[in-house]
Structure 1
C-alpha cells in the first residue's frame, strides 16, 4: 500500500518530477525564516517585507485552490506565509502604535 501511495505521489502532475512540486517546497524557506524572526525585536521588522509576505500568502493560497491539478503543497506553504506575515505585522503594529512609552528614569 505504501509503495502505491509513493508511486501515485511520484506520478502526480504536481509531484516531485515537476517544478510544481519544487517551487513551493523551496518557498518553505521564507516561512521558516519568518518563524526564526519571531525572536527579532518588533522595531527591527519591516512593514513592506511583512506586507509582501502576507499578501503573497493570501493571493497564492486562493490561486492554488482554483488551478488544476490542485497543488496542496503550494496551498500549505502560502497559508503558512500568510499566517507568519500576519503575526509579524501584528507584533509590529502593536509595538509602533499601542505600546506605552517607557517612563524616563530620573537622573540626579
Structure 2
C-alpha cells in the first residue's frame, strides 16, 4: 500500500462510527481494492444506462457483447474468490444486464430492417 493511502485510511479510521466498524474492517471493505474497483466500475453501468437513449443505429454490437461477456465472467468470479465480493458481483450483473439489453435492441433493429427489405 502506498504511504499516502495508508495516511488517508489512518486519518479516516478515527471518524468511522462503531456501527460501521464491521464494514470498515471487512476483508472487502473500503480499506481494500476489493471495495474501490467495484465502486468505480459503476461508471460503466451509468454509461450503459445513458446509452439507452442512444439511437439504436449507433450501438456497437461488438462492444456491447464484450461488456456483457465481461460482466458475466466477473460475476461468476466474484462469487468463487475469497473473500466473496458481493459488490463486485452486483456491479457486474448490472454491466451484463445493461449490455445484453443493448444487444437485444440492436438485434431487434436489424431484424426490422431485414423485414422491411423482404
- How high is the TM-score relative to the length of structure 1? 0.87
More helix by share: 2
Equivalent in 77, 94, 107 of residue 93 of structure 1: 107
Aligned residues: 100
Q: Which runs of 4+ in 1 moved over 4 A?
A: none
Q: Deviations over 1:10-52 (max 9, x none)?
A: 0011100111100110000001100000000111000111011
Change (3 A) 1:13 1:48: same
Distance in 2 (alpha carbons) for counterparts of 1:101 and 1:40: 22
Instruction: Summarize the alignment of residues 45-84 of structure 1 with structure 2, pairs less than 5 Å apart.
Output: 45-84=59-98
Structure 1 residue 63: Cα displacement: 0.5
Structure 1 residue 4: Cα displacement: 4.3
Distance in 1 (alpha carbons) for counterparts of 2:77 and 2:100: 19
* RMSD between aligned residues: 1.4
- How high is the TM-score relative to the length of structure 2? 0.80
Structure 1 residue 96: Cα displacement: 1.0
Unaligned runs of 5+ in 1: 103-108
Instruction: Summarize the alignment of residues 28-43 of structure 1 with structure 2, pairs less than 5 Å apart.
Output: 28-43=42-57
